[in-house]
Structure 1
Amino acid sequence: MNQYARHERPDFTPALRLALECHFQFELPSPTPMIARLWTHQSRLSDLETPDQLRTDPPVPLQAFHDEFGNFCSRLVAPAGCFGIEIAAVVRDSGQPDPPHPDYAGTPVEDLPETVLGYLLGSRYCDTDLMAPIAWSRFGTRRSGQALVQEICDYVQAQIRFDYVQARATRTASQAHAEGVGVCRDYAHLAITLCRCMNVPARYCTGYLTEIGSPTPEAPGDFAAWIEVWLEGGWRLFDPRNNVPRIGRVLVARGRDAADVAMIHSFGLHRLTNFRVRAEPLA
């Protein structure tokens, strides 16, 4: 096994200790370059109780770097045959639900910082050109700021029926809207797209989410997706899939949409033979 770890000392007493783990197993016909985005996001680095350790089997050299969105990544070349990659960590958490949303105001486009303007544009899964007429007809003469974003999240949750069996990696926001079915990434893509259409910068987030306090836990273990929108000078968290505050959310990566935050990006043919994710409180 090969491993690479980061070290950071926690500086607070947590209410929760969360065990995080994910594992990928591949069959590869030939040596294949990969990028892994599996590390706990740097915004949670001080919460690590133990280093998050990335391991590969068989061992391969790992090259760490930050991508254009600030996500911590690793480059590697996986050998032909059976190849595994996994990461595990213990994260300290406040145990509090997601923060509530005050009545944040929106920001006119002309006053937005240049660094967030890109999150108003269409992207791979967020086809704003197709969704703009729908967005403006439904939300164009109504609320703004936090109230608008919440109304969009309410609409998305009502529009899409969660069905893990019908997950599709190529589904765009407009397709999710038309089909009325999807998984958390589809909820996020549709909400992001509608926000961008209404001139609210929005970005895609992925990471771990525990089932603490959830009345309807999902059977398959997987990563969760949510969004952040720019309101009143900062990025604010919204979760159109759950649409209620949740406990035990740990960010891994951010980007324009899911294309920017693939957990494993393979530059060649591969077959995924095993995948598991765990996010559970420790006693």
Structure 2
Amino acid sequence: MQIHAGYEMSYTCPKSTPMILTLSVHPSRINDLVSLDRALFDPPIAANTYHDSFGNFCHVIEAPPGGLTIRANFVIRDSGRPDDVAPDAPQLALGELPVDVLLFLLGSRYCETDRLSTFAWSRFGQVPKGWPLVQAICDFVHGHIAFDYAHASPLKTAFDAYTQKQGVCRDFAHLAITLCRCMNIPARYCTGYLGDIGVPPDPSPMDFSAWFEVFLGGRWYTFDARHNVPRIGRILMARGRDATDVALVTSFGPSTLTGFKVVTTEMA
């Protein structure tokens, strides 16, 4: 199958403002692109492209005073298969984990393992390790948080989502990641496109999506605590410890988002 995806984002800045953009398709999906995923700027400006420490594509730009629109449109091939399910995938002991995975056991900006460790062990300590444990965490988060755009906040942490019981997809991901790390399962945050493919259409405007991956049995598996079912057509953009590492736009100065549109549709 092929998916048409893209975005258009507009900002207003009172003065020249440096920004880091993490909006490109992840390097692991580059060979699937049918057409280029290229960021276009109006007015035209220069962009310095680099790979960050997590392997994501990033751009450094200098947003001019006034308005700036960033857009991209591309077509990508996809297998059309839902997320992998491996009920027997085992949880590895700390000494068996690759050293580059250990980072994803630690607390981070939005994932306060120290504040949720006691709850995690009291709630999930008797659940069989491995896949059943991650699924039990997803089941809990899915039922514990009510999805509501009105309760989106860039300041909300996993502990906030746990106590407030409301949030958006990033909050579902942050809480699930934190609980997994508390239970000694490496977990990392993912952001990307997820269209209404193979599911009833969502009447809400299309947005980027957040999910997470866990390391079980020697590889990474995708989980999604918000939807809590395997989905078709995920297009990964970036991975990191939490939303800090994969923010769509990081602005080093005052800026106001004035327009936002995301497209993700299956092509006939």
TM-score by length of 2: 0.98
* Aligned-partner SS, 2:53: coil
* Aligned-partner SS, 1:86: strand
1:203 aligns with 2:182: no
Partner of 2:87: 102
> In structure 1, what is the Cα distance between the partners aligned to 2:150 and 2:199?
20
Describe the superposition over 1:241-263 as per-residue Cα deviations: whole angstroms up to 9, x where unpaired: 11111111100000000010001
Partner of 1:124: 109
Q: Which runs of 5+ in 2 are unaligned?
A: none
1:135 aligns with 2:120: yes
> In structure 2, what is the Cα distance between the partners aligned to 1:115 and 1:104?
20
Instruction: Verify the 8 A CA contact 2:42 2:68 in the aligned structure 1.
Output: yes
Q: Give the 5 Å matches for 1:201-280.
A: 201-215=186-200, 217=202, 219-280=204-265
Describe the superposition over 1:55-92 as per-residue Cα deviations: whole angstroms up to 9, x where unpaired: 01111111110000000111110100011111221001
> In structure 2, what is the Cα distance between the partners aligned to 1:221 and 1:273?
16
Partner of 1:147: 132
> In structure 1, what is the Cα distance between the partners aligned to 2:198 and 2:239?
25
Instruction: Verify the 8 A CA contact 2:4 2:264 in the aligned structure 1.
Output: yes
Partner of 1:46: 31
* Aligned-partner SS, 1:149: helix
RMSD: 1.0
1:160 aligns with 2:169: no
Describe the superposition over 1:194-220 as per-residue Cα deviations: whole angstroms up to 9, x where unpaired: 000000000000000010122362502
Answer with 160-169 or 118-127: which moved more: 160-169
Describe the superposition over 1:27-64 as per-residue Cα deviations: whole angstroms up to 9, x where unpaired: 10000011111111111111100111110111111111
Answer with 24-33 or 107-116: which moved more: 107-116
1:142, distance to aligned residue in structure 2 (A): 2.2
> In structure 2, what is the Cα distance between the partners aligned to 1:110 and 1:131?
23
Instruction: Verify the 8 A CA contact 2:195 2:206 in the aligned structure 1.
Output: no
Partner of 1:68: 53
> In structure 1, what is the Cα distance between the partners aligned to 2:165 and 2:3?
34
> In structure 1, what is the Cα distance between the partners aligned to 2:54 and 2:7?
22
> In structure 1, what is the Cα distance between the partners aligned to 2:138 and 2:74?
31
Partner of 2:168: 183
* Aligned-partner SS, 1:137: helix
Instruction: Verify the 8 A CA contact 2:84 2:221 in the aligned structure 1.
Output: no
Aligned residues: 268
Change (3 A) 1:106 1:99: same
TM-score by length of 1: 0.93
1:141, distance to aligned residue in structure 2 (A): 2.5
Partner of 2:96: 111
Deviating beyond 3 angstroms after TM superposition, the runs of 4 or more aligned structure 1 residues are none
* Aligned-partner SS, 2:244: helix
Describe the superposition over 1:141-165 as per-residue Cα deviations: whole angstroms up to 9, x where unpaired: 3210011001000010011011112
> In structure 1, what is the Cα distance between the partners aligned to 2:215 and 2:203?
29
Q: Which amino acid aligns with 1:21?
A: G
> In structure 2, what is the Cα distance between the partners aligned to 1:128 and 1:179?
17
Instruction: Verify the 8 A CA contact 2:111 2:178 in the aligned structure 1.
Output: yes
Fraction of identical pairs, as percent: 51
